[in-house]
Chains A and B, each alone.
Chain A
């Protein structure tokens, strides 16, 4: 008797809690009116805004949000920030709690994770109504923010791209000419071989990048191939085998640094080998030029870095844009203000000048021109922006990244190549294992 008396509240309490938690997951979302879906309504009240970045980007982001609040009295922007890696993990948990910020910064590569779960509002109605002006954003850039259904779920505000970063000074000293514009993969290899013959022994012509997904994307796009076919890999096993074999041959020839050195390399551009003069060249984001040169300056050797587009293939340039931008989640209760904020971010001159392409080149062509025309713009930053213009002018291919791209595809790709590089798997074995893991993971 007594025993039951003691136990019952415990069990009942647990059951209630379980029910509460399960119910919490099905928590309803605000019903938006048609006007709200078009981004129309009073621009006032609070919105939450989240982005990723380090201290310096946080500072300029804060300034832009401050001017928005000044421009629209009665609005208040609550800011949330984290570094890139932790940002997306937190966003996943926020998504679970239907608690995403009204204006959420996303990257095109992660967009699929959110569209597949229908967590975002399409922005097209807000563009049609004029709430968000996209007239100065090139079509090819805008399209990177579209979901599989063709609707725009992210307004791209900054565009990054990968480049071949080369230590010009070392190349000069070795007497090798930089690859000429429009160079292809064979020219790239020839460049590395020439450099290898002339460089000092402790400087490798390139970092070992067989496991870098972006480089492979450029290779596939340059061949006119497709990366993804819906939720499956769109390229053949043969193509990947050929690509990884190429890297293994390069490593065998001594054109690369060691796999162990490569896997301990920190992710931030300042600490990369190319920024320390330890390798001649590397595939690096174009906007890493300024920070990387900063480190190289610190070595006191006076060496200079420059950036080139990635090698082209038979089908032309494979340089894709890696855009980031702003999205509005379905759980947002203040859509008009969120839309106004995005519009302000994408079009306001003061915002463009202040932010100064702190996360990829600004996508609004007029704002970009202002930055290029600015006489005080540092040369390196100018070069980052010019190369971006050049890549956009080439009408870069657009990749529709499936959900799970970063978590499944990128991690499996890097790991499979590491298995090859460290000799624990042959190229065909690693390709098979990668295909199985990626296709299973992306379909899930």
Chain B
């Protein structure tokens, strides 16, 4: 797709005028070198972490360089199994379950809400939308303790419910707002066309808005994935038993000011914990940027 765009545009370039002509190969080379230098600068911390994860535990901090002569995979094997009951296959599974549930919750509830705000006229719309914005601004510290007391009364502590149910009930104003913005930018003519074809609101939502909002839905899914995967405070409060720990809690358990810490395992498991999110990103960015909806718009 990119290449066709470039090919189509190339003949027009002289219209831009002032730029001195250069070999496209050289230009591409220059561009890529700039990008790669930028990338190396930006990713240095991660590269260093990757290198450190293969050093023996007590040599982790001995160099600023990326790789040294010492090479060991102990950090991965020890970090992964930890003890018999505490191991990362469990933590990864827990994180994955939680993440999938949260994504489904957010996608369904936030898109429903956003459709109403973006497309429908109803009483108190302004007031309620102001509420959405207000919750967007709300520091979570405000509701933390009352929520804990409530979940504790409901007997939900040590289950996934305190982390998942709020998502099913669209408490993430961020995503509502995101989708409202996206849906508002879609041309209304599409709705009207569907309406003429006999679609009700549900039909318009399902057949027009949802397919066209794939970029927004993908963005929501991606951000929910990252937020949930990296969330520390929520699981720390509600998932106290090591059996139910998520990856972020597992990572925190490598460090402790009062005992034996293992930075090597921390870096090894941190590296591994990037893999699912990165994979999801690569998969989801197709939705985001090359999605059907976008091409349908043009």
Contact = CB atoms under 8 A, between A and B. Distances in A.
Direct touching of A and B (C-beta under 8 Å): yes
Interface of A: 6, 20-21, 24-25, 27, 50, 52-59, 62-63, 78-86, 90, 93, 96-99, 160, 267-271, 276, 285, 287, 290-291, 294-299, 358-359
Contacts, number: 140
A299 B256 contact: no
B50 interface: no
Q: Would you call the interface of chain B mostly helix, strand, loop, or mixed? A: loop
A298 B62 contact: yes
Contact of A84 (B62, B150, B258): B258
A96 B85 CA distance: 30
Contacts of B59: 298-299
Interface residues of B, number: 42
Nearest to B245: A81
Contact of B145 (A54, A96, A269, A299): A96
Contacts of A290: 260
B83 A24 contact: no
A90 B237 contact: yes
Given A24-B149, A25-B149, A57 B85 contact: no
B144 to A, nearest CB: 8
Contact of B257 (A78, A268, A297): A268
Interface of B: 56-62, 82-86, 123-124, 144-146, 148-150, 152-153, 157, 236-237, 240-242, 249, 252-263, 265
Contact of B56 (A59, A99, A298): A298
A84 B212 CA distance: 48
Given A6-B123, A55-B83, A80-B241, A97 B152 contact: yes
A98 B149 CA distance: 9
Contact of B86 (A50, A55, A276, A285): A55
Nearest to A107: B258
Nearest to B124: A6
A54 B256 contact: yes
28 contacts: A54-B260, A55-B86, A55-B262, A57-B256, A58-B83, A59-B82, A59-B83, A79-B241, A81-B242, A81-B253, A83-B255, A84-B258, A86-B252, A93-B145, A96-B148, A99-B152, A160-B258, A268-B255, A270-B58, A291-B261, A294-B58, A295-B58, A295-B61, A296-B58, A297-B58, A298-B57, A298-B60, A358-B259
Nearest to B83: A59
